[in-house]
Structure 1
Amino acid sequence: MFTKTLLIDNYDSFTYNLYSFLSEVNGCPPTVVRNDVDWRAIELTEFDNIVISPGPGRPASERDFGISSRAILQGGLPTLGVCLGHQGLCQLFGAHVVLAPEPRHGRNSEVFHDGRELFAGLPSPLSVVRYHSLAVEDLPAELEPTAWTSDGILMGVRHRQRPLWGVQFHPESVCTDHGHELLANFRELTPTRRKGSAPKPRRRPRTLSPYVVETRRIDRRVDPQTVYERLFADGPNSFWLDGSSTVESDARFTIMGDASGPRAEYITYDVADGTVLVHRSGVPAGTRRVRFFDYLDEQLRARAVPPSPDLPFSFNLGYVGYLGYELKAEADGNAQHSADTPDAALVFADRAVVIDHVDGSCYLLALSGQAHEPETRDWMRRTAQVINRLPVTTDDALPARPLIRSAADPRMTLRHNRETYLDKIRTCLENIRVGETYEVCLTNHAQIDVEIDPVETFAYLRSITPVPYAALLRFEAADILSASPERFLRVDADRVVESKPIKGTRPRGATAATDDALRQDLLTSEKDRAENLMIVDLVRNDLSRVCTPGSVHVPRLFDVETYAPVHQLVSTVRGTLRSDATAVGCVRACFPGGSMTGAPKIRTMEIIDRLEEGPRGVYSGALGWLSINGTADLSIVIRTMVSRNGTVSFGIGGAIVALSDPDEEFTETLVKAAAMRRALTISAGRSPALAHSVGPQTSSDAIDRARRRLSRAELGGVEVWVCPGVPAPRANTELVLAEALADISHVTTPVVVDLCTGSGAIALAIAHARADAGVHAVDADPTALNVARRNIERQIRLGESPIVLHESAVSTPNLLSCLAGTADLVLARPPCIPDDEDLPSQCGEYRRRALVSDTDGLKLARQTIVAAARLLHAGGSLVVEHRPDRYTTVLALLDENKFFANVATHFDQAGDAAYTTCARTSMQLQHAEVGPEPNPCTPPGAKSRSEKSRGRRPTTDSRN
């Protein structure tokens, strides 16, 4: 016996969760039709009951409700309306649908009910999930309330004479209790039951493949960057999918290759004209007018091979590349905007190297005919020779090679400025308020004109941002550098599909206690849980379109995963593909990822198209591989740079929900942009601002230009004032600043001490970049301190954070008693002891102060380093700037005092300046008579170490 349901889809993103539940309850899948089909074409005698889905908008709108009205009034079958269906049922019989007291999306409520019919046998109160901005009031006499909240919002209704029921909440949500039982009760209210069993989908027969994947294992632990550079960096359309710097146990493999093999292809797709362009050996080899997902499915079937049980990974060659966001036009979205990059670009990789970072081995893969071609064996032999000649590494997570940071962060241009973006956020909130959407993943587009070395920049990116799905694509269309932490979809050899949406982020804490407090705050935040739940329910819906009914489940809900810089709220959704479904079909059903659109997906994408006013391109799409053995693994394209024609672009954004604050949301986008800009300071060259700055490393021409044209410069991308004719920090100091800001990026409210202040520019730059930082500027020279004071006062009048000035030698008791043991970071510049020719004549005052004897210089350097150690708390960082011919002395001083660990020295591009970074150990300081005294010098906005756990933290989502 089974029950056949007609399920009307009001273009919602939760309809297929109802589909899955009804399939289990009824014994067969329902038939799904959208609300704009021809009602007359539906043969109602084939069905036992009707379910009307949730959806965006209002039931009075024909577009929003469509044939749902006819189903209620003319269907003549037991009918259940859910959310919008419930509102429509009530309105059709005379009730009023009005704005609810507050939008409730992805949030639980306790519902009380009468215990009859739909609610028979269910506890009261019942914990349910609500997704609605509208509510029903003024029921007519023929409708009877059956469920309600404690504050009187109607949650359930029944018609007194007809077999019609409605519920305002969502029984299909993963966080609603007893949703299956409620739908089973609806089945029991349906009188007609059909005999027999529902037909099962057929799996397409697998034909004998003309190909075989040949493999070879090499037991040698090698550096992935070295392998890529030796084998593929100069090849056509190369790729490097990196799994070496990750906390993900199942992302232990790095995959790399290019399009140089005999069966390799590079394909691009343009949505506007529906054309696939195929390149072989670097030249066009043909075009096809075909829908992209159909083409991809067809090509993978033609080259299909069975999964290899001998390999520890799923990848068996296939397509590697990206699917751009505008490909949504072939997956229920509109073709609203055109990107300047292809809407999809992939390499068919017929050869690849896979590195296993757990057991320290490499695998060579090559697609060959059944005859085991000599060319394939020759490639394997030559590739193995190269790998066996590479040095053996003891650690996969090698540090990035020394790279030169730019003198200042490159200037960033946003598609939408602050006020425009805030207006768009407010428009999103209004759409949520009136019921058009539950959540909008709004994004901005950033662009920076800068030339980069993609390989070196990616190597640096992966070293500072360990994530499971880092990737470098060097394609003809563009260079793609991705540091995505989010899995879009994985399909394994057992046809189990997994998605891991991320919504909710907190920074790491400076101490174990603070770190745990931040983690717990994320875990218990109602806003973050609501955002996460909405996307989890959406992903469940998308997977249920292609998975076996009942197989979609959530093994991990609201789980906090911890990475080096952040905690993230991650959920895991899994299901098993139907026998007639493929990995490509799964991607099409889920694309674009719901965490980049919001919900309901289709209506929300329309809102996004109107608001963003331009394409997203690669950003928000998917990146990874689809293999010829039926498996796949793709990430969501976030935290990703696209480099093309001397310009780097990237997307930044966040989820807008009813609880969002516009200013916080915009600030969060800047935080995300700052992380990308930090990576772009590498190899970006010197900025015009630096060339016009005044300092001991600057030419007299530059000084004259500064006097005539400039009264300000940039440090670390932050504009600061510098008085003409007064020494500003030289080029290396800007490198120091970039490193310093990175060292305190994870600290909630850092305390920074700048010893030997000079013009005050460093202190100002830190105050600009970290408004929550307490910055102390120290200098023993009253002239220098007066210059700094004038520069700082200009900024204070502009509303910048105050900076505390100390006229003090670095080792005076006054300074130590004021700041001892409080600093997260100390910047120190011992006297550089320059030669006369290094100092322009205009800098006479600087020459008199800086020219000290070697003996006095060493004494001052020692005092500076010892004072810095006393100022730092255990684990704080010291950055010392010095001349390269003094770096051995600085290292010796650090070693002599034994206060520091993890010492590293760096040089600028010209080799005329250096800096050393290190961290204070927990060792007791020698000859330091200091204790945990209160800090009377802490400026407004800064906190002592004991107060930091109560510091402010971001509450918006930081995933995009």
Structure 2
Amino acid sequence: MSLFHVLFIDSYDSFCFNVQRLLEQQLNGTVEVTTIRNDSFQTVGELNQVLPFFDAVVIGPGPGNPKNGAQDVGILNDLFHDKEMITVPILGICLGMQAMCLAQGCDVEQLDTIKHGQVYEMLVTPEGYTSRLFDDCPPTFKSTRYHSLHVVTSNKTTDVIPLVTTKDENGQLLMGVQIKERPWFAVQYHPESCCSIKGDLLIQNFIKLAQHWNQDITGRYSQKIQATLNGIDKLKSLQRAIDRTPLFNKFASPGTSEKMSIFTKKYQIPNIINDAQFTLKLVDQIHQDKFIFASSSLSANRGEWSIIALPDSSSLVYTHFNDLEKTTIHKWQDPNLKYDHIKTALNGDDDLATNENNTSLKIISEDKEGFWKNISNDMKGKLIDEKNEELKNLPFIGGLVGILGYEMGSYISNDKTNTTNLKPDAKLVFINNCILVNHVDGVVYLVSRGECFPEEIINIMENNEAWERESLNWKSTLPSDIKYDIVMSKPEKYSEAFNMCQDYMHKGDSYEICLTTQTTVTPKLPSNGALSTWRIFQTLVQRNPAPFTSYLEFNDLVERYDEELCLISSSPERFLKWDQDICELRPIKGTVKKTDEMNLEKATKILKTPKEFGENLMILDLIRNDLYELLPNVKVDEFMSVEEYKTVYQLVSVVRATGMSQSCYTGMDILKHSLPPGSMTGAPKKITVEMLQHEIEPMVNEMTCGGRRGVYSGVTGYWSLNGRGDWSVNIRCMYSYDSGTNWHLGAGGAITVLSTLEGEREEMFTKLETALQVFQ
């Protein structure tokens, strides 16, 4: 069977790869889709040169208003006025329908009541069946709506044939059309959404119609055959319009390899099964440097493992500074390296900066894209295709551990004028030795790359009966003689930012905007007092246990200095977990505070309202899109379940992709393409991230961090040598760039058109209180 070629024109939407995969799943996988952006060509004339390659064009959804012209929709408006397009089968979706109908004389107006992430009944008109676009479709079916704008017809727009309608508070609305005597079809709803019914049937019918028009009416097939014979290289070049190159070729030989044997020692301790405190007791015994990923709250499918990573003198430390476009690499606590060396080297222009007393500090001039590639290439030669089933299935056997900040994600620009900013945007450490605690089976593993596990840790485990029976003596409050200066965003600024978000959503620029604020806490210690980061961690764990508790203090230099990065987190949200074949995301959207009056049943009713449903559906569709960009098989395994934590109830879903082992990608590729987390941005991601960074959050956070989020909204986790990884979202956390002198706490929520100012402010404070309570 010959391939059916589709040119898909995306408008920087966060659902575009959902559309692409929906197309590719038809005709037994013989549909080939080439995706470009609406500004990939400057003129329709340029586009016309490649049109003969394609059987059909699909114009996807996106932000903006076609009435605003090219600044919003690129070449879309010109496309529908070009005579070369008249014979080309076209399917428009959402924005695509609006642009198509505007070119026919219709108006595009704002809805009185906006619909984002809401599921409605679609009604097929008699013309819908006559057109054949809705063959075999029931008279009514449910589909998802994401739109602030809608098409309005008049007596002058007789060439626009209504195929589908719906009805709501706005009245009777046009949901699908055909342009008279042309193979142009469009729908306002989103057939690619996970809650849309008959989306695949719509695509199948459109393909049949396109084949009919091309073969029996316009004769375009003869043009396609000739174009393909003469210009296959041009087609292949167009297929690379969106860069999806893997970080490295995982099937190629690494060249130089640093693979080493893995040493393991195993302890079976049945009485620690389902005991979250065992890990906390264990880390209390370890006085050397450690990074902790502890399950201080155990639940099914989360919190099964705790990991204690042990950096040592052979561990390389990778630190990236986004604004400086530089990366430092050095060994953990190199005795010859001082912080002044690093600052001096970062201010230099050489790619390799050294000091006469130190030859191990390396400075690389690279942007964040370069950082992603370089750390991946460094890991490539160390990754192990482990045959031992037990080692293969352990979550971590050594590898990269650390933090990737919010600014390491896509669409976030750096501030090249800020050459004094030495706040790291990414900090990763290569770990050779670690301790794993399996809370389900009651097993502890000591794992070492190179058979050099620290003797003092072995001794601790050999004598575990002496300390595991003792109670955990961690206090739930900080010393009472410490006072705190707390600086928060101003309420009036939050109100202003909230209203700005609503304006953008009503105009059609965004469906959902995750507005976040940051609070700075400065402990005021008595003259002889001290407050260690470890003491704060102990208190947070007691006050708010969570599945993804973490403690990362980067004292990676021998000398103590005042600009160490430290993260303390009690995050409930996994961002991305992967093994050799499967990627899983667990987005959280929707939070209800636990009180004496609030129980699971009441919280579930609140979290299943249209507002919360819409928030979750948007993020689910966005995450499906992020996975579909690189992997073909994506499924929603758990749809909006309510989970209970110590202080809140949360609405959680699970999205899983399979087939990574057969693809050219690793989990690190999925992580890079998915950042920043959609649950922390909103959708469409690109325009929403840009609005948040440059317009909205600098205003609301002018007292604290400006437009930077830093560690907050980034991710913390690991990439293991056996090809596994697990990263949690940096929420319900606190972090310090100056060794604990000042602490930063972020909180926020997804704003939709159904949000209220008071409701969002209350949710933000509920989340903030999770970490802020430690200081109160």
TM-score by length of 1: 0.65
Report the Cα distance in structure 2 between the residues aligned to 1:396 and 1:168, rounded to whole angstroms. 63
Residue 35 of structure 2 aligns with an amino acid whose one-letter code is V
The one of 59, 67, 74 equivalent to 2:66 is: 59
**SS of structure 2 residue aligned to 1:341:** coil
Whether 2:37 is the aligned partner of 1:34: answer yes
- 8 A contact 2:476–2:540 mirrored in 1: no
- 8 A contact 1:98–1:134 mirrored in 2: yes
**SS of structure 1 residue aligned to 2:484:** coil
Superposed, which structure 2 residues align to 1:614-693 within 5 Å? 614=706, 615-645=708-738, 646-681=741-776
**SS of structure 2 residue aligned to 1:4:** strand
- Distance of aligned partners of 1:336 and 1:82 in 2 relative to their CA distance in 1, 3 Å threshold: farther
- 8 A contact 1:243–1:252 mirrored in 2: yes
Shift of residue 295 of structure 1?
A: 1.5
Whether 2:394 is the aligned partner of 1:313: answer yes
- 8 A contact 1:506–1:518 mirrored in 2: no
- Distance of aligned partners of 1:69 and 1:402 in 2 relative to their CA distance in 1, 3 Å threshold: closer
Shift of residue 44 of structure 1?
A: 1.8
Shift of residue 408 of structure 1?
A: 7.7
> Residue in 1 aligned with 2:324?
273
- 8 A contact 2:404–2:711 mirrored in 1: yes
Between stretches 58-67 and 587-596, larger displacement belongs to 58-67
The one of 120, 124, 130 equivalent to 1:113 is: 124
- Give a deviation string over 1:623-663, Cα, whole Å, max 9, x none: 11112222211011101101343111111111110011112
**SS of structure 2 residue aligned to 1:460:** helix
> Residue in 2 aligned with 1:520?
604
> Residue in 2 aligned with 1:753?
none
Report the Cα distance in structure 2 between the residues aligned to 1:177 and 1:50, rounded to whole angstroms. 22
> Residue in 1 aligned with 2:620?
536
Superposed, which structure 2 residues align to 1:396-545 within 5 Å? 398=472, 400-401=474-475, 403-406=477-480, 410-414=484-488, 416-450=489-523, 452-476=531-555, 477-493=564-580, 495-508=581-594, 510=596, 515-545=599-629
Whether 2:270 is the aligned partner of 1:189: answer no
Percent of pairs with identical residues:
30
Shift of residue 326 of structure 1?
A: 1.0
Shift of residue 269 of structure 1?
A: 0.4
> Residue in 1 aligned with 2:672?
588
> Residue in 1 aligned with 2:177?
157
- 8 A contact 1:6–1:50 mirrored in 2: yes
> Residue in 1 aligned with 2:232?
none
- Distance of aligned partners of 1:393 and 1:89 in 2 relative to their CA distance in 1, 3 Å threshold: farther
- 8 A contact 2:591–2:607 mirrored in 1: no
Superposed, which structure 2 residues align to 1:97-136 within 5 Å? 97-114=108-125, 115-116=128-129, 117-136=132-151
> Residue in 2 aligned with 1:219?
268
- Distance of aligned partners of 1:333 and 1:637 in 2 relative to their CA distance in 1, 3 Å threshold: same
Report the Cα distance in structure 1 between the residues aligned to 2:495 and 2:507, rounded to whole angstroms. 19
Report the Cα distance in structure 2 between the residues aligned to 1:289 and 1:251, rounded to whole angstroms. 38
Shift of residue 77 of structure 1?
A: 1.8
> Residue in 1 aligned with 2:363?
287
Report the Cα distance in structure 1 between the residues aligned to 2:298 and 2:479, rounded to whole angstroms. 25
Report the Cα distance in structure 2 between the residues aligned to 1:478 and 1:542, rounded to whole angstroms. 30
Report the Cα distance in structure 2 between the residues aligned to 1:403 and 1:143, rounded to whole angstroms. 68
Shift of residue 436 of structure 1?
A: 0.8
- 8 A contact 2:65–2:508 mirrored in 1: yes
Shift of residue 393 of structure 1?
A: 6.1
Between stretches 74-83 and 165-174, larger displacement belongs to 74-83
* RMSD, matched Cα: 2.7
Report the Cα distance in structure 2 between the residues aligned to 1:32 and 1:500, rounded to whole angstroms. 28
- 8 A contact 1:244–1:252 mirrored in 2: no
- Distance of aligned partners of 1:408 and 1:272 in 2 relative to their CA distance in 1, 3 Å threshold: closer
- 8 A contact 1:333–1:605 mirrored in 2: yes
Report the Cα distance in structure 1 between the residues aligned to 2:24 and 2:471, rounded to whole angstroms. 48
Shift of residue 155 of structure 1?
A: 0.5
- Higher relative CO (Cα under 8 Å, sequence separation at least 6) belongs to 2
Report the Cα distance in structure 1 between the residues aligned to 2:500 and 2:432, rounded to whole angstroms. 48
Between stretches 182-191 and 537-546, larger displacement belongs to 182-191
TM-score by length of 2: 0.80
Residue 716 of structure 2 aligns with an amino acid whose one-letter code is L
**SS of structure 1 residue aligned to 2:61:** coil
Between stretches 666-675 and 465-474, larger displacement belongs to 666-675
Report the Cα distance in structure 1 between the residues aligned to 2:543 and 2:664, rounded to whole angstroms. 43
Superposed, which structure 2 residues align to 1:62-101 within 5 Å? 62-72=70-80, 73=82, 74-75=84-85, 76-101=87-112
- Give a deviation string over 1:673-697, Cα, whole Å, max 9, x none: 333221124xxxxxxxxxxxxxxxx
Structure label with greater radius of gyration: 1
> Residue in 1 aligned with 2:251?
205
Report the Cα distance in structure 1 between the residues aligned to 2:724 and 2:470, rounded to whole angstroms. 26
Shift of residue 186 of structure 1?
A: 1.0
Report the Cα distance in structure 2 between the residues aligned to 1:67 and 1:163, rounded to whole angstroms. 19
- 8 A contact 1:19–1:29 mirrored in 2: no
- Distance of aligned partners of 1:387 and 1:407 in 2 relative to their CA distance in 1, 3 Å threshold: same
Shift of residue 159 of structure 1?
A: 0.6
Report the Cα distance in structure 2 between the residues aligned to 1:506 and 1:141, rounded to whole angstroms. 50
- Distance of aligned partners of 1:254 and 1:310 in 2 relative to their CA distance in 1, 3 Å threshold: same
Between stretches 478-487 and 335-344, larger displacement belongs to 335-344
Shift of residue 300 of structure 1?
A: 1.6
Report the Cα distance in structure 1 between the residues aligned to 2:12 and 2:281, rounded to whole angstroms. 50
Superposed, which structure 2 residues align to 1:275-354 within 5 Å? 275-282=326-333, 283=337, 285-290=361-366, 291-307=370-386, 308-311=388-391, 312-328=393-409, 331-335=410-414, 341-354=423-436
- 8 A contact 2:281–2:468 mirrored in 1: no
**SS of structure 1 residue aligned to 2:4:** coil
- 8 A contact 2:281–2:467 mirrored in 1: no
Residue 123 of structure 1 aligns with an amino acid whose one-letter code is P
Superposed, which structure 2 residues align to 1:248-263 within 5 Å? 248-262=300-314
The one of 677, 685, 697 equivalent to 1:612 is: 697
Report the Cα distance in structure 1 between the residues aligned to 2:179 and 2:74, rounded to whole angstroms. 21
- Distance of aligned partners of 1:524 and 1:5 in 2 relative to their CA distance in 1, 3 Å threshold: same
Shift of residue 70 of structure 1?
A: 4.3
- 8 A contact 1:479–1:644 mirrored in 2: yes
- Give a deviation string over 1:872-913, Cα, whole Å, max 9, x none: xxxxxxxxxxxxxxxxxxxxxxxxxxxxxxxxxxxxxxxxxx
**SS of structure 2 residue aligned to 1:530:** helix
> Residue in 2 aligned with 1:783?
none
Report the Cα distance in structure 2 between the residues aligned to 1:430 and 1:497, rounded to whole angstroms. 36
Residue 641 of structure 2 aligns with an amino acid whose one-letter code is D
- 8 A contact 1:127–1:176 mirrored in 2: yes
Report the Cα distance in structure 2 between the residues aligned to 1:598 and 1:10, rounded to whole angstroms. 16
- Give a deviation string over 1:547-570, Cα, whole Å, max 9, x none: 1x2x11101111111223222111
Superposed, which structure 2 residues align to 1:652-801 within 5 Å? 652-681=747-776
